[in-house]
Structure 1
């Protein structure tokens, strides 16, 4: 035999030398949950090792992430009080905006402080937008549905509030049609022309969000399949990516990551802007559960899972393993 691919797999040094993809701490973004009223961090039972942070514990975690060279943090607020309109999301003294100011002050320019722009953490019904009554087109029954355009008005207000709190990147995760264009217009009108937008472009109605609901103490009634994407659809993901780019997204997202690597690869192939992916709570919880039973090698599984997301085309990965993985990489 003349062709022997194994020649390039012979030693650890050789394998490192010819590796096609590598993970660097700057490509990792740490999602963080900041809960109003806490004096210390509280563990999240379905996500071992992940916490709801107090403002003080958040500051310490951000300082640690910055020391390790992590690229950014994505903040989610967990308020004490909720209402139908998600009013806490636009309150300058609401937990997410307060946490943003504290995070920016702590981080300086060491990493990018990002904020989740969605109403679901702040509404008493747990949906990502404002509800309205409608008549069901088939049964004729009166039901509640998410009003897309009314929700966009709230998103516009949220975008300005988060930018004024100092957020360096707004993560538009609500999956309302036209959300990128609406928030971009509001930011520009308020003078925040330099604030970039991360469009959660291909976000699917996934079963892997379960532990996240505990993390944000979600009040969700029903499901989000009327506005998040159908997991059966691949081409639709690319359509959403193209729409977000056309509306002015500076970065686009595929979420979840591991169940939708095909969509991620498609997005990376056509996108003119950076493409990120979110290794979501259920993916994290599965690795932790299997490792706790001794069924998999935890460290190898974590490294392989993130590398596979990068191999599919992600320029950066939101992962709850960001700081731990960064520590391993530094060693």
Structure 2
């Protein structure tokens, strides 16, 4: 363990270093100038600091105060060595972070006892830090595994809902990745982008409650049939709402609001502008683009540029203009995703 020794008198430094040699696995690092010691501490964290109080350029109290501000040095044990036994000095030293004191002339037995106690304290700190780091790694591993299982379950449930629809599993992968691209170009954090990527596939989960006669109808829906179809937004929300999972909470909001329109003419609540959650506004763009550019039994696929023109024309009416701009900014990424996840994609798929 490393012990930093600081005293402006070289003879005192030499004496302390000789005494420290009597302690197993203890290495002294000595200085006679406080600034040099602080510079060393900028790139090294000692296990114990021994500092003299009376120094001409910077006294021991000021050194401790500045030492405590350095990264990783807040809890390092500090022994102040002084010939001054006044209580006021001790109060000042304790206030800036001193842990214990030695009074000159130094008694060898007391020195060794106090030093060993301080090193034992530091050893306990290091053990707890290592234990905490290990626990943090284990918790992260467990959380990652749980998240992966949760993500796979949600994808499979979402695909099950789409299996009753003319859409495909590839649609889920495309629109989820389109959504992430929009989020990226809107400046959302990596964590928000990942959450949206994982939650977006749940947008149409409520379709499990729509009758096949309506869901699979090849022609245009009647007004009554369309009213029934619109229920899928609320159904999806009801399935997902109330969960403790952040992913399911996001999915619930997306399911409820992805058919809202920026001008307030959407459903189910007729929300307008930023009253609609940002995730739902993003998914609305991604979902419509993929629906337009995908072939279905009742329609041919649109050309991607025609679909993009449709989105641009809908900015400020159907779609959030900022989301449209972000989609356009990520156009090359969009085309790459469209090429990667074609409708013949099979298996569980990958959200990336």
TM-score, normalised to structure 1's length? Answer: 0.31
Query: Normalized per residue, which structure has more strand?
Result: 1
Higher relative contact order (CA closer than 8 Å, sequence separation 6+): 1
TM-score, normalization by structure 2: 0.29
